[in-house]
Amino acid sequence: MDLESVDWLKTPYPILVHSVQHPHFGLGSGDETGERRNRSLFNPGEVAEVVRYIGLLRTIVDDDEQIGVVTPYKLQAHRIQTALGKEFGSLATSKIKVSVTEKFQGQERQVMIVSTVRSSMPSSRVGQAQVT
């Protein structure tokens, strides 16, 4: 799904939900993984999708400072920040806020990307939560 092919931006409160779990997206399984040393998690398929969406959003949004990415895991935030730096350079990285949930309290952005990291939909579970 491309941002350009969707009319969701024309709605008063545009929301787009994109799963990276499904192999159709060509990013592998989209499963989360972690690093032994810090117990945090990241999802490499989701990191790639976040960077792709930011690339598309940068053509629509007037100011990179109006783009934010929020995630519950520090390692995911770090991986996204690193990938953004490689893709768009340090200027964009310094303007696009990528952080964990509690750091965004009380702040607003024109565009927010929520990176949940955990996705285990084939078993009807998202992380530890049961999907009904």
Helical residues (DSSP H) of 62-119, grouped into ranges: 74-88, 90-95
Average pLDDT over residues 23-28: 45
Q: Residues 76-130: pLDDT tens digits?
A: 999 999 999 999 999 888 999 999 989 888 888 888 999 888 765 554 444 455 5
Contact at 8 Å (CB) between 97 and 43?
no
Amino acid at 8: W
pLDDT at 84: 96
Contacts of 59 (CB under 8 A, 6+ apart): none
Per the structure, the complete domain to which residue 38 belongs is given by 3-130
- Write the CATH number for 107: 3.40.50.300
Three-class SS of residue 35?
A: coil
- Number of domains composing the chain: 1
Full-model pTM: 0.73
**Residue 106 gets which letter from DSSP?**
T
